[in-house]
Structure 1
Amino acid sequence: MKKLLTLLLLSPALLLAQDIAVLKYSGGGDWYGNPTSVPNLAKFCNQNINTKINTKIATVEPGSPDLFSYPFIHMTGHGNVVFSDNDITNLRNYLTSGGFLHIDDNYGMDQYIRREIKRIFPDKELIAVPITHEIFKGPFNFPNGMPKIHEHDNKQPDAFGIFIEGRLVLLYTHETDLGDGWEDPEVHNDPKEVREKALKMGANIVNYAFNN
Protein backbone atom coordinates (compact mmCIF):
# COMPACT_ATOMS: atom_id res chain seq x y z
CA MET A 1 0.00 0.00 0.00
CA LYS A 2 3.02 2.34 0.23
CA LYS A 3 2.85 3.35 -3.43
CA LEU A 4 -0.83 4.17 -3.06
CA LEU A 5 -0.20 6.26 0.05
CA THR A 6 2.40 8.24 -1.89
CA LEU A 7 -0.22 8.95 -4.54
CA LEU A 8 -2.68 9.95 -1.83
CA LEU A 9 -0.25 12.47 -0.38
CA LEU A 10 0.12 14.05 -3.81
CA SER A 11 -3.64 14.27 -4.30
CA PRO A 12 -5.41 17.59 -3.63
CA ALA A 13 -8.55 15.64 -2.78
CA LEU A 14 -6.92 13.62 -0.03
CA LEU A 15 -9.20 11.31 1.91
CA LEU A 16 -8.37 9.46 5.10
CA ALA A 17 -6.00 6.61 4.28
CA GLN A 18 -8.47 4.17 5.84
CA ASP A 19 -11.55 5.13 3.83
CA ILE A 20 -13.08 2.31 1.79
CA ALA A 21 -15.51 2.31 -1.14
CA VAL A 22 -17.89 0.14 -3.14
CA LEU A 23 -17.19 -0.27 -6.86
CA LYS A 24 -19.97 1.00 -9.16
CA TYR A 25 -19.51 -0.93 -12.39
CA SER A 26 -21.40 -1.29 -15.68
CA GLY A 27 -22.87 -4.34 -17.40
CA GLY A 28 -26.21 -4.73 -15.69
CA GLY A 29 -25.08 -6.47 -12.52
CA ASP A 30 -26.39 -5.15 -9.22
CA TRP A 31 -23.25 -3.45 -7.89
CA TYR A 32 -25.51 -1.87 -5.23
CA GLY A 33 -26.48 -5.22 -3.70
CA ASN A 34 -26.12 -5.77 0.06
CA PRO A 35 -26.42 -2.06 0.98
CA THR A 36 -25.86 -2.59 4.72
CA SER A 37 -22.94 -4.99 4.40
CA VAL A 38 -19.90 -2.71 3.97
CA PRO A 39 -21.08 -0.12 6.55
CA ASN A 40 -21.52 -2.97 9.04
CA LEU A 41 -18.07 -4.31 8.20
CA ALA A 42 -16.57 -0.86 8.74
CA LYS A 43 -18.27 -0.59 12.15
CA PHE A 44 -17.04 -4.05 13.13
CA CYS A 45 -13.47 -3.20 12.13
CA ASN A 46 -13.55 0.08 14.05
CA GLN A 47 -14.78 -1.73 17.15
CA ASN A 48 -12.50 -4.77 16.95
CA ILE A 49 -9.27 -4.08 15.03
CA ASN A 50 -8.65 -0.39 15.85
CA THR A 51 -9.43 1.05 12.42
CA LYS A 52 -10.99 4.47 11.86
CA ILE A 53 -13.04 3.82 8.74
CA ASN A 54 -15.72 6.27 7.68
CA THR A 55 -18.96 4.28 8.02
CA LYS A 56 -20.64 6.40 5.34
CA ILE A 57 -19.32 4.27 2.51
CA ALA A 58 -18.57 5.98 -0.78
CA THR A 59 -19.09 4.58 -4.27
CA VAL A 60 -16.42 4.89 -6.93
CA GLU A 61 -16.37 4.00 -10.63
CA PRO A 62 -13.54 1.84 -11.99
CA GLY A 63 -12.39 4.49 -14.49
CA SER A 64 -12.35 7.35 -12.00
CA PRO A 65 -9.14 8.92 -10.64
CA ASP A 66 -10.90 8.85 -7.24
CA LEU A 67 -10.16 5.12 -7.15
CA PHE A 68 -6.67 5.99 -5.90
CA SER A 69 -8.13 7.67 -2.81
CA TYR A 70 -9.13 4.32 -1.33
CA PRO A 71 -6.75 1.58 -0.16
CA PHE A 72 -9.64 -0.93 -0.12
CA ILE A 73 -12.39 -1.34 -2.73
CA HIS A 74 -15.25 -3.82 -2.37
CA MET A 75 -17.24 -5.20 -5.30
CA THR A 76 -20.26 -7.49 -5.32
CA GLY A 77 -23.29 -8.48 -7.39
CA HIS A 78 -25.26 -11.30 -9.00
CA GLY A 79 -24.84 -10.75 -12.72
CA ASN A 80 -22.93 -9.30 -15.63
CA VAL A 81 -19.86 -7.09 -15.28
CA VAL A 82 -18.40 -5.03 -18.11
CA PHE A 83 -15.31 -2.84 -17.80
CA SER A 84 -14.40 -0.34 -20.52
CA ASP A 85 -10.84 -0.17 -21.81
CA ASN A 86 -10.32 2.90 -19.63
CA ASP A 87 -11.68 1.02 -16.60
CA ILE A 88 -9.26 -1.83 -17.26
CA THR A 89 -6.25 0.48 -17.48
CA ASN A 90 -7.25 2.42 -14.37
CA LEU A 91 -7.92 -0.72 -12.31
CA ARG A 92 -4.60 -2.23 -13.38
CA ASN A 93 -2.74 0.97 -12.42
CA TYR A 94 -4.58 1.11 -9.11
CA LEU A 95 -3.79 -2.48 -8.18
CA THR A 96 -0.15 -2.31 -9.28
CA SER A 97 0.26 0.92 -7.28
CA GLY A 98 -0.71 -0.61 -3.95
CA GLY A 99 -4.51 -0.70 -4.09
CA PHE A 100 -6.63 -3.69 -3.10
CA LEU A 101 -9.84 -5.02 -4.67
CA HIS A 102 -12.10 -7.52 -2.92
CA ILE A 103 -14.69 -9.11 -5.19
CA ASP A 104 -17.41 -11.12 -3.44
CA ASP A 105 -19.67 -13.16 -5.72
CA ASN A 106 -23.19 -12.64 -4.42
CA TYR A 107 -24.14 -15.58 -6.68
CA GLY A 108 -24.20 -15.43 -10.45
CA MET A 109 -21.27 -13.18 -11.39
CA ASP A 110 -18.57 -15.85 -11.61
CA GLN A 111 -18.34 -16.28 -15.39
CA TYR A 112 -18.45 -12.53 -15.97
CA ILE A 113 -15.95 -11.40 -13.38
CA ARG A 114 -13.41 -14.07 -14.36
CA ARG A 115 -13.54 -12.73 -17.91
CA GLU A 116 -12.94 -9.16 -16.73
CA ILE A 117 -10.15 -10.11 -14.32
CA LYS A 118 -8.38 -11.76 -17.25
CA ARG A 119 -8.65 -8.48 -19.14
CA ILE A 120 -7.09 -6.58 -16.22
CA PHE A 121 -4.22 -9.05 -15.87
CA PRO A 122 -3.91 -11.02 -19.13
CA ASP A 123 -0.46 -12.27 -18.12
CA LYS A 124 -1.50 -13.58 -14.70
CA GLU A 125 -3.60 -16.48 -13.47
CA LEU A 126 -6.30 -16.26 -10.84
CA ILE A 127 -5.02 -18.81 -8.34
CA ALA A 128 -6.31 -20.33 -5.13
CA VAL A 129 -5.18 -18.46 -2.03
CA PRO A 130 -3.59 -21.12 0.22
CA ILE A 131 -5.05 -21.60 3.70
CA THR A 132 -1.57 -20.83 5.05
CA HIS A 133 -1.78 -17.26 3.71
CA GLU A 134 -1.68 -14.51 6.34
CA ILE A 135 -5.15 -13.29 5.35
CA PHE A 136 -6.50 -16.35 7.18
CA LYS A 137 -4.29 -15.90 10.24
CA GLY A 138 -5.11 -12.56 11.71
CA PRO A 139 -6.45 -10.70 13.49
CA PHE A 140 -8.82 -13.70 13.51
CA ASN A 141 -7.74 -17.27 12.84
CA PHE A 142 -9.33 -19.29 10.04
CA PRO A 143 -7.23 -22.48 9.91
CA ASN A 144 -9.50 -24.05 7.29
CA GLY A 145 -9.50 -21.04 5.00
CA MET A 146 -12.56 -19.22 3.70
CA PRO A 147 -15.70 -19.79 5.79
CA LYS A 148 -19.03 -20.85 4.29
CA ILE A 149 -21.71 -18.22 4.96
CA HIS A 150 -24.55 -18.95 2.51
CA GLU A 151 -25.36 -22.13 0.62
CA HIS A 152 -26.02 -21.95 -3.12
CA ASP A 153 -24.76 -24.94 -5.11
CA ASN A 154 -23.45 -27.20 -2.34
CA LYS A 155 -19.87 -26.28 -3.22
CA GLN A 156 -16.96 -25.46 -0.97
CA PRO A 157 -16.12 -21.80 -0.37
CA ASP A 158 -13.11 -20.58 -2.29
CA ALA A 159 -10.69 -17.66 -2.24
CA PHE A 160 -8.84 -16.84 -5.45
CA GLY A 161 -6.27 -14.13 -5.92
CA ILE A 162 -3.98 -12.17 -8.16
CA PHE A 163 -0.51 -11.71 -6.69
CA ILE A 164 2.05 -9.08 -7.68
CA GLU A 165 5.56 -9.51 -6.29
CA GLY A 166 4.16 -11.73 -3.55
CA ARG A 167 1.42 -9.31 -2.52
CA LEU A 168 -2.23 -10.24 -2.85
CA VAL A 169 -3.78 -7.30 -4.74
CA LEU A 170 -7.11 -8.81 -5.87
CA LEU A 171 -9.13 -11.24 -3.79
CA TYR A 172 -12.10 -13.02 -5.33
CA THR A 173 -14.30 -14.86 -2.82
CA HIS A 174 -16.65 -17.45 -4.36
CA GLU A 175 -19.32 -19.76 -2.94
CA THR A 176 -19.08 -18.09 0.46
CA ASP A 177 -21.20 -14.90 0.21
CA LEU A 178 -19.36 -12.96 2.88
CA GLY A 179 -21.33 -9.82 2.05
CA ASP A 180 -24.62 -11.49 2.96
CA GLY A 181 -23.14 -12.29 6.35
CA TRP A 182 -22.19 -8.64 6.87
CA GLU A 183 -25.73 -7.39 6.29
CA ASP A 184 -28.15 -6.35 9.04
CA PRO A 185 -29.38 -9.44 10.97
CA GLU A 186 -32.98 -9.18 9.74
CA VAL A 187 -32.01 -9.22 6.05
CA HIS A 188 -31.08 -12.92 5.90
CA ASN A 189 -31.85 -14.03 9.46
CA ASP A 190 -28.40 -15.56 9.78
CA PRO A 191 -27.47 -16.89 13.22
CA LYS A 192 -25.22 -14.61 15.26
CA GLU A 193 -22.28 -17.00 14.97
CA VAL A 194 -22.54 -17.05 11.16
CA ARG A 195 -22.60 -13.24 10.94
CA GLU A 196 -19.69 -13.02 13.36
CA LYS A 197 -17.66 -15.47 11.28
CA ALA A 198 -18.33 -13.43 8.13
CA LEU A 199 -17.42 -10.14 9.82
CA LYS A 200 -14.21 -11.59 11.27
CA MET A 201 -13.11 -12.84 7.85
CA GLY A 202 -13.97 -9.44 6.40
CA ALA A 203 -11.89 -7.76 9.09
CA ASN A 204 -8.95 -9.98 8.15
CA ILE A 205 -9.29 -8.85 4.52
CA VAL A 206 -9.44 -5.17 5.50
CA ASN A 207 -6.49 -5.59 7.85
CA TYR A 208 -4.41 -7.19 5.11
CA ALA A 209 -5.29 -4.45 2.61
CA PHE A 210 -4.37 -1.68 5.06
CA ASN A 211 -1.08 -3.21 6.19
CA ASN A 212 0.46 -4.77 3.08
Structure 2
Amino acid sequence: MKLHTFIFLFIYTSVTCAQSVAILKYNGGGDWYSNPTALANLVKFCNDNIDTNIKENIKTVDVGSIDIFQYPFLHMTGHGNVFFSDDDSENLRKYLISGGFLHIDDNYGMVPYVTKELKKVFPNKELIEIPKTHPIFKTAYDFPNGLPKIHEHDGKAPKAMGVFHKSRLILLFTFESDLGDGWEDQEVHNDTEDVRQKALKMGANIMKYVFVN
Protein backbone atom coordinates (compact mmCIF):
# COMPACT_ATOMS: atom_id res chain seq x y z
CA MET A 1 0.00 0.00 0.00
CA LYS A 2 1.33 3.44 -0.92
CA LEU A 3 2.02 5.80 1.98
CA HIS A 4 -0.49 8.44 0.90
CA THR A 5 -3.21 5.78 0.56
CA PHE A 6 -2.36 4.46 4.02
CA ILE A 7 -2.57 7.96 5.51
CA PHE A 8 -5.92 8.63 3.84
CA LEU A 9 -7.40 5.38 5.12
CA PHE A 10 -6.01 6.02 8.61
CA ILE A 11 -7.66 9.44 8.81
CA TYR A 12 -10.85 8.26 7.09
CA THR A 13 -11.24 5.52 9.70
CA SER A 14 -10.61 8.01 12.52
CA VAL A 15 -13.16 10.49 11.21
CA THR A 16 -15.93 8.02 10.50
CA CYS A 17 -15.53 5.50 13.32
CA ALA A 18 -13.80 7.09 16.29
CA GLN A 19 -14.32 10.78 16.81
CA SER A 20 -11.31 11.70 18.89
CA VAL A 21 -9.30 14.83 19.55
CA ALA A 22 -5.85 15.38 21.00
CA ILE A 23 -3.50 18.05 22.30
CA LEU A 24 -0.44 18.53 20.12
CA LYS A 25 2.91 18.41 21.93
CA TYR A 26 5.73 20.34 20.24
CA ASN A 27 9.37 21.14 20.89
CA GLY A 28 11.08 24.46 21.52
CA GLY A 29 10.34 24.96 25.20
CA GLY A 30 6.87 26.48 24.85
CA ASP A 31 4.20 25.39 27.33
CA TRP A 32 2.14 23.15 25.06
CA TYR A 33 0.47 21.82 28.24
CA SER A 34 -1.17 25.13 29.22
CA ASN A 35 -4.97 25.31 29.63
CA PRO A 36 -5.20 21.70 30.87
CA THR A 37 -8.99 21.71 31.36
CA ALA A 38 -9.86 23.55 28.16
CA LEU A 39 -10.21 20.87 25.50
CA ALA A 40 -12.07 18.42 27.73
CA ASN A 41 -14.58 21.14 28.65
CA LEU A 42 -15.07 22.05 25.01
CA VAL A 43 -15.67 18.42 24.03
CA LYS A 44 -18.27 18.02 26.78
CA PHE A 45 -19.97 21.24 25.67
CA CYS A 46 -20.11 19.99 22.09
CA ASN A 47 -21.45 16.57 23.04
CA ASP A 48 -24.11 18.18 25.23
CA ASN A 49 -25.16 20.94 22.84
CA ILE A 50 -24.46 20.17 19.18
CA ASP A 51 -24.93 16.38 19.10
CA THR A 52 -21.32 15.43 18.52
CA ASN A 53 -20.02 12.10 19.79
CA ILE A 54 -16.42 12.90 20.66
CA LYS A 55 -14.45 10.91 23.20
CA GLU A 56 -14.03 12.96 26.37
CA ASN A 57 -10.76 11.26 27.30
CA ILE A 58 -8.24 13.74 25.89
CA LYS A 59 -4.89 12.39 24.76
CA THR A 60 -1.60 14.13 24.05
CA VAL A 61 0.30 13.34 20.87
CA ASP A 62 3.74 14.38 19.65
CA VAL A 63 3.88 16.40 16.43
CA GLY A 64 6.47 14.03 14.98
CA SER A 65 4.59 10.84 15.77
CA ILE A 66 2.52 8.82 13.32
CA ASP A 67 -0.06 8.69 16.12
CA ILE A 68 -1.37 12.10 15.02
CA PHE A 69 -3.16 10.28 12.20
CA GLN A 70 -5.52 8.73 14.76
CA TYR A 71 -7.01 12.14 15.49
CA PRO A 72 -8.94 14.16 12.90
CA PHE A 73 -8.69 17.21 15.18
CA LEU A 74 -5.55 18.45 16.94
CA HIS A 75 -5.40 21.42 19.33
CA MET A 76 -2.20 23.33 19.98
CA THR A 77 -1.65 26.15 22.45
CA GLY A 78 0.98 27.86 24.60
CA HIS A 79 2.68 31.15 25.32
CA GLY A 80 6.16 30.92 23.85
CA ASN A 81 8.63 29.23 21.58
CA VAL A 82 7.63 26.58 19.04
CA PHE A 83 10.05 24.49 17.02
CA PHE A 84 9.31 21.93 14.31
CA SER A 85 12.13 19.75 13.03
CA ASP A 86 12.17 18.74 9.38
CA ASP A 87 10.61 15.41 10.30
CA ASP A 88 7.95 17.13 12.44
CA SER A 89 7.11 19.47 9.56
CA GLU A 90 6.81 16.66 7.03
CA ASN A 91 4.65 14.59 9.36
CA LEU A 92 2.33 17.50 10.09
CA ARG A 93 2.08 18.45 6.41
CA LYS A 94 1.09 14.90 5.42
CA TYR A 95 -1.46 14.79 8.21
CA LEU A 96 -3.09 18.06 7.19
CA ILE A 97 -3.25 17.53 3.45
CA SER A 98 -4.58 14.01 3.99
CA GLY A 99 -7.65 15.13 5.91
CA GLY A 100 -6.54 16.22 9.37
CA PHE A 101 -7.20 19.57 11.02
CA LEU A 102 -5.07 21.66 13.39
CA HIS A 103 -6.35 24.48 15.59
CA ILE A 104 -3.58 26.64 17.04
CA ASP A 105 -4.90 28.91 19.78
CA ASP A 106 -2.38 31.51 20.92
CA ASN A 107 -2.38 31.75 24.70
CA TYR A 108 -0.37 34.93 24.07
CA GLY A 109 3.16 35.06 22.73
CA MET A 110 3.14 32.33 20.06
CA VAL A 111 2.64 34.45 16.95
CA PRO A 112 6.25 35.04 15.82
CA TYR A 113 7.21 31.42 16.47
CA VAL A 114 4.16 29.82 14.88
CA THR A 115 4.33 31.93 11.73
CA LYS A 116 8.02 31.06 11.31
CA GLU A 117 7.56 27.32 11.90
CA LEU A 118 4.54 27.04 9.62
CA LYS A 119 6.78 28.11 6.73
CA LYS A 120 8.59 24.81 7.27
CA VAL A 121 5.32 22.92 7.08
CA PHE A 122 3.97 24.80 4.05
CA PRO A 123 6.78 26.68 2.26
CA ASN A 124 4.44 27.59 -0.60
CA LYS A 125 1.34 28.51 1.38
CA GLU A 126 0.51 31.63 3.36
CA LEU A 127 -1.58 32.20 6.44
CA ILE A 128 -4.55 34.23 5.26
CA GLU A 129 -7.23 35.98 7.25
CA ILE A 130 -10.48 34.03 7.30
CA PRO A 131 -13.43 36.17 6.16
CA LYS A 132 -16.33 36.68 8.56
CA THR A 133 -18.57 34.99 5.99
CA HIS A 134 -16.70 31.68 6.26
CA PRO A 135 -18.83 28.72 7.46
CA ILE A 136 -16.65 28.26 10.56
CA PHE A 137 -18.34 31.34 12.02
CA LYS A 138 -21.85 29.93 11.63
CA THR A 139 -21.78 26.11 11.63
CA ALA A 140 -23.55 25.84 15.00
CA TYR A 141 -23.68 29.38 16.40
CA ASP A 142 -23.69 32.65 14.52
CA PHE A 143 -20.69 34.97 14.91
CA PRO A 144 -21.40 37.67 12.31
CA ASN A 145 -18.47 39.76 13.55
CA GLY A 146 -16.02 36.88 13.37
CA LEU A 147 -13.78 35.62 16.16
CA PRO A 148 -14.87 36.76 19.66
CA LYS A 149 -12.52 38.52 22.06
CA ILE A 150 -12.18 36.44 25.23
CA HIS A 151 -9.15 37.88 27.03
CA GLU A 152 -7.67 41.34 26.72
CA HIS A 153 -3.90 41.51 26.30
CA ASP A 154 -2.85 44.55 24.35
CA GLY A 155 -6.08 45.94 22.95
CA LYS A 156 -5.74 44.41 19.50
CA ALA A 157 -8.66 42.90 17.62
CA PRO A 158 -8.97 39.10 17.58
CA LYS A 159 -7.84 37.41 14.39
CA ALA A 160 -8.56 34.09 12.73
CA MET A 161 -5.95 33.10 10.17
CA GLY A 162 -5.90 29.92 8.15
CA VAL A 163 -4.15 27.65 5.72
CA PHE A 164 -6.25 26.18 2.91
CA HIS A 165 -5.63 23.13 0.73
CA LYS A 166 -7.80 22.63 -2.35
CA SER A 167 -10.31 25.12 -0.90
CA ARG A 168 -10.53 23.21 2.42
CA LEU A 169 -9.50 24.97 5.64
CA ILE A 170 -6.92 22.62 7.17
CA LEU A 171 -5.33 24.85 9.80
CA LEU A 172 -6.89 27.54 11.96
CA PHE A 173 -4.69 29.95 13.92
CA THR A 174 -6.59 32.11 16.42
CA PHE A 175 -4.84 34.92 18.29
CA GLU A 176 -5.63 38.06 20.27
CA SER A 177 -8.67 36.07 21.40
CA ASP A 178 -7.61 33.33 23.85
CA LEU A 179 -10.46 30.92 23.18
CA GLY A 180 -8.79 28.23 25.28
CA ASP A 181 -8.81 30.40 28.40
CA GLY A 182 -12.57 30.72 27.99
CA TRP A 183 -12.90 26.93 27.71
CA GLU A 184 -11.12 26.31 31.00
CA ASP A 185 -12.86 25.67 34.31
CA GLN A 186 -14.55 28.90 35.39
CA GLU A 187 -12.48 29.33 38.54
CA VAL A 188 -9.20 29.33 36.59
CA HIS A 189 -9.70 32.78 35.04
CA ASN A 190 -12.96 33.88 36.71
CA ASP A 191 -14.53 34.67 33.36
CA THR A 192 -18.20 35.61 33.34
CA GLU A 193 -20.61 33.01 32.02
CA ASP A 194 -21.30 35.20 29.00
CA VAL A 195 -17.61 35.26 28.08
CA ARG A 196 -17.26 31.51 28.60
CA GLN A 197 -20.32 30.85 26.44
CA LYS A 198 -18.87 32.91 23.61
CA ALA A 199 -15.62 30.94 23.78
CA LEU A 200 -17.35 27.56 23.99
CA LYS A 201 -19.77 28.36 21.18
CA MET A 202 -16.96 29.45 18.87
CA GLY A 203 -15.11 26.29 19.80
CA ALA A 204 -18.21 24.28 18.98
CA ASN A 205 -18.28 25.91 15.55
CA ILE A 206 -14.72 24.74 14.96
CA MET A 207 -15.55 21.20 16.07
CA LYS A 208 -18.67 21.04 13.94
CA TYR A 209 -16.74 22.33 10.93
CA VAL A 210 -14.24 19.48 11.39
CA PHE A 211 -16.56 16.61 12.29
CA VAL A 212 -19.78 17.41 10.43
CA ASN A 213 -18.98 19.49 7.33
Aligned pairs (5 A) from 1:106-117: 106-117=107-118
> Which residue of structure 2 lines up, in the alignment, with residue 17 of structure 1?
18
Instruction: State the alpha-carbon separation in 2 of the partners of residues 184 and 5 from structure 1.
Output: 36
Aligned pairs (5 A) from 1:37-116: 37-116=38-117
Query: TM-score if structure 2 supplies the norm length?
Result: 0.93
> Which residue of structure 2 lines up, in the alignment, with residue 206 of structure 1?
207
Identity %: 62
Instruction: State the alpha-carbon separation in 1 of the partners of residues 12 and 170 from structure 2.
Output: 21
> Which residue of structure 1 lines up, in the alignment, with residue 147 of structure 2?
146
Instruction: State the alpha-carbon separation in 2 of the partners of residues 101 and 8 from structure 1.
Output: 13
* 2:9 aligned partner, one-letter code: T
1:211 CA displacement: 2.8
Instruction: State the alpha-carbon separation in 2 of the partners of residues 132 and 122 from structure 1.
Output: 27
Kept after mapping to 1: 8 A contact 2:11/2:72: no
* 1:72 aligned partner, one-letter code: F
Aligned pairs (5 A) from 1:104-143: 104-143=105-144
Instruction: State the alpha-carbon separation in 1 of the partners of residues 39 and 138 from structure 2.
Output: 21
Structure 2: gaps spanning 5 or more residues: 1-5
Question: How many residue pairs are counted as aligned between the two chains?
Answer: 208
Instruction: State the alpha-carbon separation in 2 of the partners of residues 27 and 159 from structure 1.
Output: 24
Instruction: State the alpha-carbon separation in 1 of the partners of residues 37 and 10 from structure 2.
Output: 30
Kept after mapping to 1: 8 A contact 2:22/2:60: yes
Instruction: State the alpha-carbon separation in 1 of the partners of residues 57 and 13 from structure 2.
Output: 24
**Counterpart pick for 2:10 among 7, 11, 14:** 7
Kept after mapping to 1: 8 A contact 2:11/2:100: no
Structure 1: gaps spanning 5 or more residues: none
Kept after mapping to 2: 8 A contact 1:4/1:71: no
Kept after mapping to 2: 8 A contact 1:4/1:99: no
Instruction: State the alpha-carbon separation in 2 of the partners of residues 143 and 52 from structure 1.
Output: 27
* Secondary structure in structure 2 of the residue aligned to 1:34: coil
Instruction: State the alpha-carbon separation in 1 of the partners of residues 18 and 132 from structure 2.
Output: 28
